[in-house]
């Protein structure tokens, strides 16, 4: 397995196994800060190279917590993830990079903002992850909302449990000078991480097994779009003035 693929697989797994500690501290918005925000640029996130597929009942998952077990579990996971990714991207190459910013923009506009989608200065780092170059953001908006998906895919709690379409993202709003963090929140639709600080949404549909995800490409893609829409609602609720 290449180093890029190994890291692409193991990073979501390690996030899932460590999620019980909770995300970074939230930054709550204040009425005063939001009063000065009329226009918001929603930065389009990059599409994941691979969609996550995790089953906590897989025997290999027990070894993920140990360094030596990661490669063995990763080999199984990368095959499942590659199948789902190939299936979904055949006709849906831009699921999250389209659905997530569009849904957030629509929800913000409903709440009185003038929100628009803008492309951001994302750069791919060693290991494959994308990182936003904050100092290179070029926008005239009063605030910039950056959405960073950490998990996009399907998660099952055990061998006999349904797979839940899952979208997990961290969201940050910065002000006019791009340095002041006015808000930071953590949102999950589908599989729900343990720990405090999450805004949670239950999945609208689930899949009884891995084969059922592959069997209906359109349903699988639609389920992730629905997850993005649920995340958008909780994001907009947090930014309600």
What's the CA gap between 27 and 72, in Å, rounded? 38
Answer for the pair 107, 235: CB distance below 8 angstroms, yes or no.
Answer: yes
Amino acid 57: pLDDT: 78
What's the CA gap between 183 and 175, in Å, rounded? 9
What's the CA gap between 44 and 61, in Å, rounded? 32
Token pair for 144: 């910039």
Amino acid 64: pLDDT: 43
Whole-angstrom distance between the N-terminal and C-terminal Cα of the chain?
A: 49
Amino acid 8: pLDDT: 52
Burial of 125 (0-12, 13-18, 19+ CB in 10 A): exposed
Looking at residue 203, the DSSP 8-state letter turns out to be -
Instruction: Using the Cα atoms of residue 101, residue 87, residue 167 and residue 232 in order, give the sign of their dihedral.
Output: positive
pTM of the model: 0.85
Amino acid 183: pLDDT: 96
Q: Concatenate the DSSP letters of all residues of 12-25 into one string.
A: HHHHHHHGGG--SP
Amino acid 5: pLDDT: 47
* Residue 45: half-sphere exposure toward Cβ, Cα within 13 Å: 28
Amino acid 227: pLDDT: 97
Amino acid 90: pLDDT: 87
pLDDT, one tens digit for every residue, the chain (241 residues):
454 444 455 455 545 544 444 457 889 988 888 998 999 999 999 999 889 998 887 654 544 444 334 444 556 778 899 999 999 998 888 999 999 999 999 999 999 999 999 999 999 888 778 889 998 999 999 999 999 999 999 999 988 899 999 999 999 999 988 888 999 999 999 998 877 889 999 999 999 999 999 999 999 999 999 999 999 999 999 999 8
Looking at residue 239, the DSSP 8-state letter turns out to be T
């Amino acid at each position: 397995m290449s180093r890029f693929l190994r890291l692409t697989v193991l990073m979501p797994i390690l996030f899932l196994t460590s999620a019980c500690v909770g995300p970074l501290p939230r930054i709550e918005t204040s009425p005063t800060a939001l009063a000065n925000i009329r226009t918001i640029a929603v930065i389009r996130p990059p599409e994941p190279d691979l969609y996550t597929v995790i089953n906590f009942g897989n025997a290999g998952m027990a070894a993920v917590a140990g360094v030596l077990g990661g490669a063995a579990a990763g080999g199984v996971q990368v095959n499942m993830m590659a199948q789902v990714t190939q299936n979904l991207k055949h006709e849906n190459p831009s699921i999250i990079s389209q659905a997530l910013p569009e849904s957030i923009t629509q929800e913000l506009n409903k709440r009185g903002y003038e929100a628009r989608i803008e492309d951001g200065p994302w750069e791919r780092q060693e290991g494959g992850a994308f990182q936003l170059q904050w100092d290179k953001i070029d926008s005239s908006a009063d605030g910039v909302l950056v959405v960073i998906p950490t998990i996009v895919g399907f998660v099952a709690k055990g061998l006999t449990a349904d797979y839940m379409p899952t979208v997990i993202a961290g969201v940050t709003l910065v002000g006019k000078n791009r340095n002041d963090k006015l808000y930071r929140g953590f949102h999950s639709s589908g599989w729900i991480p343990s720990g405090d600080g999450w805004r949670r949404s239950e999945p609208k549909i689930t899949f009884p097994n891995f084969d059922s995800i592959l069997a209906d490409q359109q349903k699988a893609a639609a389920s992730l779009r629905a997850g993005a829409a649920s995340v958008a609602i909780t994001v907009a609720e947090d930014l309600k003035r």
